[in-house]
Amino acid sequence: MKHKTISLLLMVAMLLVVGGAALAQDSVTLEFSQWWEPELPEGSFRALMDEFEAQNPGITVELISGPYSTTRDQIVAGAATGTMADVVGLDGAWVSDFVKQGALASLTDMMSEAGYDGSELAAQIQLNGATYMIPVVNFVYPVFVNLDLMEAAGIENPPTTRDEFAAAAAALTNPDNNVYGWVLPLSTEQPNGIQNDVMSWVWATGGSMMADGQPNLVGNDEVSSAMEYIKSLWDAGVVAPGAFAMHEQDKVEEFTNGRVGMMVDSLAHINLIRERNPELNFAITALPAAEGYDGPRGLPYASWGIGVAENSEHKAEAWKLVEYLMSADVNSQLSSIAHAFPGNVNSTPDYVESDPLFAAAFEVFQTGTLANEFVGLPVAETLMREFEEPFQLYLDGDMTLDEFLTTAQDAWMAHFE
């Protein structure tokens, strides 16, 4: 009996060892690189990942989080070296470049293999007939206005036209106190200021930088008018200093610290602003339009997009995470805590009812039309940079308007021929 008992115990021990090894072998760790976690209430995104792990035993999610610019640099480096995280947060402007490098896996193939019905997805970013990015949540870029600074300057209401904006910016500017009317990030390292803060003035008045799928900068009255307007603000000294070296996060910091009266910015940063300066009294309004324009305001937007790396060894598990984030309930939760518009058509964020500031943003959204012509264009970030470099020279007076737009148009056309 004793020998039989010992033998039985040995067999059980061996089975436990083998079983444990098998479980260890089957466990998967997904790296998820994104800039979302720092922009959400502390612990909220990790809680969603914990819920995913509970629903998917054997899959662990390691969040690689950082500011937008840092995350972008990491993902760009990973794309070039084949070392991307399994799952990556994406800006639509990056997708074309990454697909050309072969860095992103086809989500169309993954959806097909998983038998997934994509009809619930509000949008899919496709190239060559395949989806490479799914917008998880969408953020509009309205104007943020410091109400206390406005009141101190004797301005009763946020501006709705370009003339009103220029007048407000002048009244808000007080160089002796290091306060300026408007902030404009134009760093060529992170050139999305062209998309969000510059070309948005064209879109706000229903204009376009394209014609028949081709760049249309030269001889385009809508583009010329917007650039001349920005130059007038620059020459008036109402733009915060250091614009040529400024990144998006620097812009947000200036506004949060009360050094800027107005900025064009993403709704994603409302939580961040409130956390860093709970006393800041600010409002949301649509981007001002040119005088006489009474059509729907073009509203810049950006998405927290998601993709899967081609170099990932765990694509099936990575897709499970994507599918989880796009499910109606989870997408409702995420869009609510991010104060964004959901990527699932059946999701409903709760902030519209509970937060007056976001209710105002939702009204801006409902009365406007989403506009971002850079999404899906080839080498979108390069296009922004090639516009930004002569734009800086134009602002400094080293190029005429025609020279600036011709230089940018010629550079852009090289990518479309």
pTM, entire model? 0.77
**Token digits of residue 102:** 């072969």
Q: How far apart are CA 278 and CA 4, in angstroms?
A: 71
The predicted pLDDT at position 254 comes to: 98
Nearest to 68 by CA among 275, 265, 337: 265
Element (H, E) at 8: helix 2-26
The predicted pLDDT at position 286 comes to: 93
3-class DSSP state for residue 55?
Answer: helix
Burial class of residue 76 in the structure, from the number of CB atoms within 10 Å of its CB (0-12 exposed, 13-18 middle, 19+ buried): middle
The average confidence (pLDDT) of the chain is 92
Q: How far apart are CA 51 and CA 330, in angstroms?
A: 10
Residue % of the chain over a pLDDT of 90: 76
pLDDT at 284 over 90: yes
Q: How far apart are CA 55 and CA 51, in angstroms?
A: 6
**Token digits of residue 402:** 């025609």
The predicted pLDDT at position 128 comes to: 87
Cα pseudo-dihedral 120, 123, 126, 131, rounded to 10:
-30
pLDDT at 287 over 60: yes
127-145: burial string, b at 16+ Cβ within 10 Å, e else: beeebbbbbbbbbbbbbbb
3-class DSSP state for residue 185?
Answer: coil
The predicted pLDDT at position 301 comes to: 85
Question: Can you list the alpha helix ranges (DSSP code H) found in 67-181?
Answer: 68-81, 95-100, 107-114, 147-152, 162-172
Give the residue-averaged pLDDT of 145-168.
97
Contact 391, 202 (CB under 8 A): no
Residue % of the chain over a pLDDT of 70: 94
The predicted pLDDT at position 355 comes to: 86
Q: How far apart are CA 165 and CA 163, in angstroms?
A: 5
DSSP of 368-415, one letter per residue? EEEE-TTTT-TTHHHHHHHHHHHHHHHHTTSS-HHHHHHHHHHHHHTT
Contact 50, 81 (CB under 8 A): no
- DSSP code at position 239: B
pLDDT at 37 over 60: yes
pLDDT at 12 over 50: no
The predicted pLDDT at position 3 comes to: 54
pLDDT at 134 over 70: yes
Per-residue pLDDT tens over the stretch 38-63: 999 999 999 999 999 999 999 999 99
Q: How far apart are CA 48 and CA 52, in angstroms?
A: 6
The predicted pLDDT at position 123 comes to: 85
pLDDT at 20 over 60: no
Question: Can you list the alpha helix ranges (DSSP code H) found in 30-152?
Answer: 44-55, 68-81, 95-100, 107-114, 147-152
pLDDT at 397 over 80: yes
- DSSP code at position 347: -
Q: How far apart are CA 380 and CA 302, in angstroms?
A: 13
Contact 299, 143 (CB under 8 A): no
Contact 139, 342 (CB under 8 A): no
Q: How far apart are CA 399 and CA 166, in angstroms?
A: 23
166-176: burial string, b at 16+ Cβ within 10 Å, e else: bbbbebbbeee
pLDDT at 345 over 90: no
Domains of the chain: 26-138+303-356 (3.40.190.10), 143-285+378-413 (3.40.190.10)
Give the pairing type, strands 130-140 and 260-264.
unpaired
Q: How far apart are CA 286 and CA 361, in angstroms?
A: 8
Neighbours of 344 (CB within 10 A): 22
- DSSP code at position 343: S
pLDDT at 24 over 60: no
